[in-house]
Amino acid sequence: MSKSMLIGAVAGVGLATAGGVLGYQFFGQPPNQQGSNVVVATPDETVVARVAAEPVPAPQPVAQPAAAPAARPPPAPRPVAQPRPVQPVAAPAAAPAVVEECWDEEVTVTEEPTDQHRIAGTALGAAAGAALGNEVSDRDSAKLAGAAAGAFIGRRIQRRMQENREEARTTTTIERRCGSPGSAPR
């Protein structure tokens, strides 16, 4: 195997791996949830429902009858009923006031790394290790050993880099929480 052929093969594997990582990142995301929230408020409670956006079917044409049958005469008018006297209705009793207790709560969220499986570090390390193994010896076993060692080292390096950036990916916010009396954390 010639040197230029090996470099081409390693470059091809690197590009294929990078394409796979990008494809996984792009297609591995959940689809966007489209739709709208509908809020229905009544004196007793408020209900929020999620309505999914669905395509509205096109209206179907209505078939016209070939020939209309002879028209019937309109029915005779009915006598008008005498109105009944209106009875007053008692107003509904007011709902008891809902008592809520609200508090501020500190919430810390850590964002997951974009490359959780450390594929990029593994691939780059394997490519660099194979190239170094080729420089040491022209034997295939040296290239394979270099690729394996490079993949191991590249993965470890990427893990350390992700751990160091973990502090930057952590956000803390204060959220307002409400609940029934006594449900607040002490």
Summarised one tens digit per residue, pLDDT across range 108-122 is 888 887 788 889 999
Report the C-alpha gap between 173 and 110 in whole angstroms.
11
Summarised one tens digit per residue, pLDDT across range 57-72 is 555 665 555 555 667 7
Q: What residue segments make up the domains of the chain, in order of their start?
A: 98-112+170-186, 114-164
Give me the residue label for tokens 């796979």. 20
Alpha-carbon distances, residue 78 vs 73, 74, 75, 81, 126 (angstroms):
15, 12, 9, 9, 93
**pLDDT tier for residue 126 given thresholds of 50, 70 and 90:** very high
CB 104 within 8 A of CB 174: yes
To the question of pTM greater than 0.75 for the whole model, the response is: no
* More confidently predicted of 124 and 183: 124
How is residue 94 annotated by DSSP? Answer: P
How is residue 58 annotated by DSSP? Answer: P
In residues, how long is the chain? Answer: 186
Hey, which residues does 39 pair with through a beta bridge?
A: 48
Is 48's pLDDT higher than 50?
Answer: no
How is residue 66 annotated by DSSP? Answer: S
- DSSP per residue, 20-51: HHHHHHHHTSPPP--EEEEEEE-SS-EEEEEE
| Lookup: tokens for 126 | 């394997």
- DSSP per residue, 44-77: S-EEEEEEE--PPPPPPPPPPPSSPPPPPPPPPP
